[in-house]
Amino acid sequence: MKHFDALETRGTQEREAALMAALPAQVANAQKNSAAFAEILKGVDAASITSRRALAQLPVTRKYELLERQQAQRAKDPFGGFSSIGWKGMVRSAGVKRVYQSPGPIYEPEGHAADYWRAGRAMAAAGFESGDLVHNCFSYHLTPGAWIMESGAHALGCAVIPGGVGNTEQQLAAVADLRPHAYSGTPSFLKILIEKAAEAGQKLSITKALVSGEACPPSLRDWFIQQGVQAYQCYATADVGLIAYETAAREGLVLDEGVIVEIVRPGTGEPLPEGEVGEVVVTVLNPDYPLIRFGTGDLSAVLPGACPTGRTNTRIKGWMGRADQTTKVRGMFVHPGQINEVVKRFPEIIKARLVVTGEMANDQMVLQVETASPSDALALKVAEAVRDVTKLRADVRSVVPGSLPNDGKVIEDARSYK
């Protein structure tokens, strides 16, 4: 499969230098043209943000903050001050091309740049080529999913059937008549199309697919292959667009060239080393919607090495769950950030995991801490810190370094009810 452009195969040092060179201007753009980031990044010297270390000092903005600001400012600015473009003379003059509504509701802008969400790169990795006819089965109603894929298809020179969702029989009729070779949409709807076609004695013309929006486990991927369809996944969100995409190597997902991705400890902005599971935090080099250190709420981890296809960008494992592990215990909410606040008080602690067990009205909390120097005195002090921070009692249990699971969980709810 062909590469989308030369950016995918450039040297890692060249890429890092280019990303870090673009970062100060994007921070400055966010401060100047986004009212929200003017407040969030107040006092930050944009010119000094030229490294990942410097970037990691900036606050993480999470999705719930988008919603809160949008709800508070809806009459004045439906984007909550995060967009640098708008309509009615708002902000920069380029203006909004479309406005989308995602669950929340959260409103997202689309600017006028071609392939605005950069999906063309993922489609090229999935084998889509100029001249292909793509049957696009993401929703065209309010949410941007279909438009993300359509703009990527157009960037490659593909034509698009705007299939949308539902109306399976009508869509199968269109596929039978027009014979597209490519599909974009959820893996579950592709499976439905294949099965319904088989029931009707119809052989689909589709041989390649880019799927997203839900999990596509290896068993389903192999089932698609048995049906004659090579399906590849991409990881994208309505806010930031393409984050990473699958290649023919089938080894994790390669990061997009237009984003800076960090994996941080859930509940914090602290970057984690390669291989550690944490929250995906994205800085987008999009001048229209300059999200700086945007916490997606998704868990993943960096894979070692480079992709065998020749793409040199960092790879991640793909979606590994959600980072928001806020748990209610005895009527009180406990957040991952609180556990990390406790850990920071004790340099002896390498890593910690709060395990909540018990039954209704009899919740029990045990904070497991990795430490090379366990002692009763340390356990007592840590327990006091837990109570100070969370207002709840917890037992503290020391475990040997490296024994806690590498799954990104700071809080594990193991109760018999949830």
Q: What percent of the chain has pLDDT over 90?
A: 78
Is the pLDDT score of 320 beyond 60?
yes
Q: Which residues does 32 contact at the CB level (< 8 Å), separation at least 6?
A: 38
Domain-located, residue 144? no
Domain-located, residue 356? yes
Lowest mean pLDDT among 52-56, 84-88, 377-381, 411-415: 84-88
The mean per-residue pLDDT over the stretch 168-175 comes to 94
**Element of type H or E holding 279:** strand 278-284
Q: What is the mean pLDDT of the chain?
A: 92
Domain-located, residue 386? yes
Domain assignment of residue 400, given as a range: 327-413
- pTM of structure: 0.86
In three-state secondary structure terms, 285 is coil
What was the pLDDT predicted at 418?
A: 47
Q: Which residues does 386 contact at the CB level (< 8 Å), separation at least 6?
A: 342, 365, 367, 392, 393, 394, 396
pLDDT in tens, 247-296: 999 999 999 999 999 999 988 899 999 999 999 999 999 999 999 999 99
What was the pLDDT predicted at 74?
A: 85
pLDDT bucket at 360, cuts 50 / 70 / 90: low
Read off the CATH number of the domain in which 397 is found.
3.30.300.30
| Residue entry with tokens 């689309």 | 110
What was the pLDDT predicted at 332?
A: 78
What was the pLDDT predicted at 314?
A: 98
Lowest mean pLDDT among 43-57, 62-76, 97-111, 320-334: 320-334
Domain-located, residue 224? no
What was the pLDDT predicted at 321?
A: 82
Domain count within the chain: 1
Tell me the C-alpha distance between 203 and 135, whole Å. Answer: 15
What was the pLDDT predicted at 323?
A: 80
Q: Which residues does 80 contact at the CB level (< 8 Å), separation at least 6?
A: 36, 66, 67, 68, 69, 70, 71, 72, 73
Domain-located, residue 345? yes
What was the pLDDT predicted at 391?
A: 87
What was the pLDDT predicted at 215?
A: 83
**Structure-model confidence comparison of residues 88 and 412, the more confident one:** 412
What was the pLDDT predicted at 93?
A: 54
Query: How distant, in Å, are the alpha carbons of 52, 244, 247, 291, 314 from that of 11?
Result: 18, 18, 18, 26, 11
Domain-located, residue 392? yes
What was the pLDDT predicted at 187?
A: 93
**Element of type H or E holding 225:** helix 218-226
Could you give the count of Cα atoms lying within 13 Å of 413 in the half-sphere of its Cβ? 16
What was the pLDDT predicted at 414?
A: 87
- How many beta carbons lie within 10 A of that of residue 301, not counting itself? 22
What was the pLDDT predicted at 417?
A: 53
The mean per-residue pLDDT over the stretch 28-46 comes to 96
DSSP 296-318: EEEEE-EESS--TTS--S-EE--
Contact assessment for residue 145 and residue 238, using Cβ atoms and an 8 Å cutoff: yes
Domain-located, residue 364? yes
Number of H helices, E strands in the chain: 11, 21
pLDDT in tens, 145-163: 999 999 999 999 999 999 9
Contact assessment for residue 26 and residue 282, using Cβ atoms and an 8 Å cutoff: no
DSSP state of 271: B
- For 403, the token pair is 């024994």
Taking alpha carbons only, the member of 385, 349, 350 closest to residue 365 is: 385
What was the pLDDT predicted at 361?
A: 56
Letter for the amino acid at 390? T
Domain-located, residue 372? yes
Is the pLDDT score of 90 beyond 60?
no
The mean per-residue pLDDT over the stretch 25-40 comes to 96
